[in-house]
Structure 1
Amino acid sequence: MRRLAVYVVLLYLRFFARIALFMHRPKVIGIAGSVGKSSAKYALKAILEKTGRTVSTSGNSETGVPLGILGITLAGYGPIDWLIALLRCPFGVFHLIGASYLIVEMGIDDPRPPKNMEYLLTIVEPDVAVIVTESAAHTMQFEKALTVEEAHGMDPAERRDLLIRRITAEDVKMITDRTDTVVYNADNAFITDELKKLKHDDKMMLSFGASPDNRLTYGRREVTLQHTFFEFKLDADRIAFRVNDYALPEEYREVFGAAILAAYAVGETPARIEQALSSFHALPKGRVSLLRGINDSVIIDSSYNASRVSVMAFLGLAQELRDATQRPVVFAFGDMRELGGEAELEHTDVARRAVEVAEYLYCVGPLTKQYVMPIAEQAGLRELQWFENARLLGSHLRSHLPNNALVLVKGSQNQIFLEEAIKFILADEKDVSRLCRQERYWKKE
């Protein structure tokens, strides 16, 4: 009965979302990839909304996409919340009135419908397809689709690469006959290999990356605890801007590279792109917020979610800032979830890097206890402890946080919620409003 109810709700949401798209016909820009989708969406919206009404979906799932198209935000996930949302759907078809652009974040959690790309394409097909990067994320569901030989006949690294290829192949399905432009990360071999299989003679292919052979190439990047400076070259034009109040990892070149090329593809000029990004200040909560902590510490809040690639990126950032400021690095690390059989390899990779960067390492969750702690115990850190939950970690940090520390917080959302630890060490309690997952629904967790 529950499965039937879910099916009916999905059909209902899709029906009204498609009516809205048919009525208003905005230029649709779809963003896919394992990491960086949300940040790329925010950056792209900041550029496009300067010249025309731009709507972006807040969610990226089989329900989040249609609700975003209809302009409906769930207050919670209870029956009453859903009933109110469903009653609003017929009126939501007018949400796209006057919209020149619709930016759709297209997330996949499973190779099977309704959580795959093929299902999302029954709701909306992008005119411009953007693929930011690909890595091991949500591998648990893709792992279930492996054959016995694939699951057990490969070493862990080979199996991980196979899963990333499968995830990439699913993301690349977003490129349909309707798509006229593809923006992609040429430095990611999983993406480029998959695109070689695709017939795209009728599409404009715009690549970004480190090589000068790309349409958009990376220039200088400078980072401090006050701002991050980025430079790009687009054809013969230079695009340079400073993002104030954010210390961003080097990998954010991919985020901004994707946004710049997508904006260029729909007619924005390099000058207008640079101007828009120079005033950009709208990254989502819990991705890369800088917060003042107790004992003159600085908190790098990336507690929203975690994968190996994103954790490695932020450890690289922490090392840069450590070397520049001589602050000790405190790393609060929570489990990376939904990895299935890849959990050991992903966590041990991070553990080896973490002990090179951090002097203080605090772990939360059973996976870090099983895979990270044994490696870290051999590293001779100043302090190493494991905690059952984020609140216990926060309580410990409140009384043991070293002075002038650089505190990196990174972990998955699934039962980890490291933002709860951050609350204990904020210098200003009002900054709780800047943390992720503070809505009513999450308070039930």
Structure 2
Amino acid sequence: MTLWTASDAVRATGGQASTDWQASGISIDTRSLKEGDLFIALKAARDGHDFVAQALNKGAAAAMVDHIPEGVPDDAPLLVVPDVMAALTALGAAGRARSRARVIAVTGSVGKTSTKEMLRDMLSGFGKTHAAEASFNNHWGVPVTLARLAPDADFAVIEIGMNQPGEIAPLAQLTRPHVAMITTIAPAHLEAFENIDGIAHEKASIFNALGAEGHAVFPCDLPTSPILRDAAMQSGATIWSFGYGSDRVRPADMTQTEAALVLRAHVGDMRVSVRLANAGAHFGMNGLGCLAVAQALGLDLARAALGLGHWQPPAGRGLRQTIVLDSVEELGFTLIDDAFNANPASLEAALEMLAKITPAQTQTGRRGRRIAILGDMLELGPDEQSLHEAIAQYPAIAAVDLVHCVGPRMAALSRRLPLRQRGRQVAQADDLTGLVHLLVAPGDVVLVKGSKGSLVSRVVDALRNLAVAEPGSRAHRKS
């Protein structure tokens, strides 16, 4: 299917096309480029113009550039623009303008990407649904997502993030959502804000893009919820709060089992049940918020709940797997990969989930342990040491048998733990990767959690590599 023609892209960006071309997709990375994509030569860590020739050789339909790169012939299929980033933003705006999709924008301190994927699964049962790839939620990720939006899509889910004040409002205005959802407000990016109220005001600016026909969805049980409510009211949008204190969308109960989280909710006059496989309780409120979105869109709630039940935590965000160490005896351990992001709220929730899982007992009678491998939580500002120390006081950590700490910030936690729980404390993730065979045993349940920059995902990879690789084995089996 043709996504952009040369003439459409010229009208959108004000650029000049060297030839007549048609593109079926958008790419900003030659490593993931597909034949027929329009390659966008962004200038980031590397200048995308250096890869234009490679993109065209791999089958790109054309490249958006601000000059003809060296080694690229003058008659190559190009869209030449004054500024590539500005042109990408314009292309995203044009993609949004021509689409019939009902657009849902999602932000929050925790759970943006997971909630975006929940919404994708929920809405796919009602029509053609487009959603952001991975965590495409910044000044280039949002325009890319909108530029990829097919005109005939029924729904679009756009994730919006921030690192600094003033980033969310312009991205929300670009997105022009029908529904804007805030997952939660928690200590994250505190380096850039004076306090958590500042984070709430920034997140609440997503509602500025709503009008009287829009819908604002936000949690009502937070200390910062009044800030969110005030912003929603000022937008003139219909308010859909969710949480225990909501009169519109509230949980009746949430039951955590070893295999799933069962959420029963009151949505208006209806009672709805959702089963989230392999999910911890921290995903329950995200699911509740998705039900609020479904109600705002006027969707059938029973079908929405069924769609939500198809979702499972992805890699890096709570994916649970059984790592088989011996395919004959079927000995292995459970790995919970939550290595993509971490802040105090999400870490506490992950530990609560770990505490609910009962380690297995092997045929020899050995009972497994609950083990946490925790990497630094980043961007917490001047209180980062006390926030890491405070983990030792989380109620759920008492159920953890052993805690291995990765990074200089987590060293503060290691010092606070009782000796019986104190595992290895290392300066960086690579110091642990060669030791993973000493850290786990059959029957164990192992949580790996940390900010992406702590690189504890490398520990996850090393743990996965312990799996047997015999033909027909069930290594890396999802549980």
Which residue, 33, 53, 61 being the options, matches 2:138?
61
Report the Cα offset of residue 227 of structure 1: 2.7
Q: How does 1:6-405 map to 2 (within 5 A)?
A: 8-58=83-133, 59-71=136-148, 95-112=149-166, 116-143=167-194, 163-176=195-208, 178-179=210-211, 180-196=214-230, 199-200=233-234, 202-211=236-245, 213-244=246-277, 246=278, 248-278=279-309, 280-293=310-323, 294=325, 296-322=332-358, 327-353=368-394, 355-369=397-411, 371-376=412-417, 379-405=418-444
* Alignment partners' CA distance in 2, 1:346 and 1:234: 36
Distance (whole Å) between structure 2 residues aligned to residue 26 and residue 417 of structure 1: 37
- Note the C-alpha offset of 1:135: 0.6
Shift of residue 333 of structure 1? 0.3
Give the number of equivalent residue pairs: 380
In 2, the alpha carbon distance for the partners of 1:424 and 1:171 equals 36
Give yes or no for the alignment of 1:421 onto 2:470: no
TM-score after normalising by structure 1? 0.78
Q: 1:423–1:429: 8 Å Cα contact kept in structure 2? A: no
Describe the SS at the equivalent of 1:337. Answer: coil
Cα deviation 1:345-389 (Å, max 9, x = unaligned): 2211223327523221111111112x212212xx12254211233
| 8 Å Cα contact 2:179/2:293 also seen in 1 | yes
Q: Distance in 2 between matches of 1:284 and 1:400?
A: 24
Q: CA deviation at 1:254?
A: 1.1
* Distance (whole Å) between structure 2 residues aligned to residue 254 and residue 104 of structure 1: 19
Tell me if the contact between 2:210 and 2:236 (Cα under 8 Å) persists in the aligned partners: no
Tell me the percent identity. 22
Distance 1:423 1:206 in 2: 40
Larger deviation: 174-183 or 330-339?
174-183
Aligned-residue offset at 1:14:
0.6
Specify the code of the residue in structure 1 equivalent to 2:128: R
**RCO (CA 8 Å, sep 6+): is it higher in 1 or 2?**
1
> Which amino acid in structure 1 is aligned with residue 319 of structure 2?
S
3-state SS in 2 of match to 1:175: helix
Change (3 A) 1:383 1:203: closer
1:189–1:432 Cα change, 3 Å: farther
Any unmatched runs of 5+ in structure 1? 72-94, 144-162, 436-445
- In structure 2, relative to structure 1, the CA distance for the partners of 1:15 and 1:177 (3 Å cut) is closer
Name the CA distance, whole Å, in 1 between partners of 2:210 and 2:145.
Answer: 21
Q: Is the 8 A contact 1:142 1:167 kept in 2?
A: yes
Gaps of 5+ in 2: 1-42, 49-81, 326-330, 362-366
- Of the two, which has the highest radius of gyration? 2
Aligned-pair CA distance for 1:429 = 6.2
The structure with the largest strand share of the pair is 2
* Partner secondary structure for residue 221 of structure 1: strand
- The answer to which structure has the higher helix fraction is 1
User: Per the alignment, in what secondary structure is the counterpart of residue 206 of structure 2?
Assistant: coil
SS of 1:218's equivalent?
Answer: strand
SS of the counterpart of 2:130?
A: strand
Q: Is the 8 A contact 1:291 1:299 kept in 2?
A: yes
Q: Per the alignment, do residues 222 and 343 of structure 1 end up closer, same or farther by CA in structure 2, a change over 3 Å counting?
A: same
RMSD of aligned Cα (Å): 2.7
Matched letter for residue 353 of structure 2: L
Would you say the 8 A contact 1:301–1:410 is kept in 2? Answer: yes
Residues 412 and 309 from structure 1, CA distance in 2 versus in 1: closer, same or farther, beyond 3 angstroms? same
- Following superposition, the deviation at residue 332 of structure 1 comes to 0.1
**CA deviation after TM superposition for structure 1 residue 193, in Å:** 3.2
Does the CA-based 8 Å contact 2:100-2:151 persist in structure 1? no
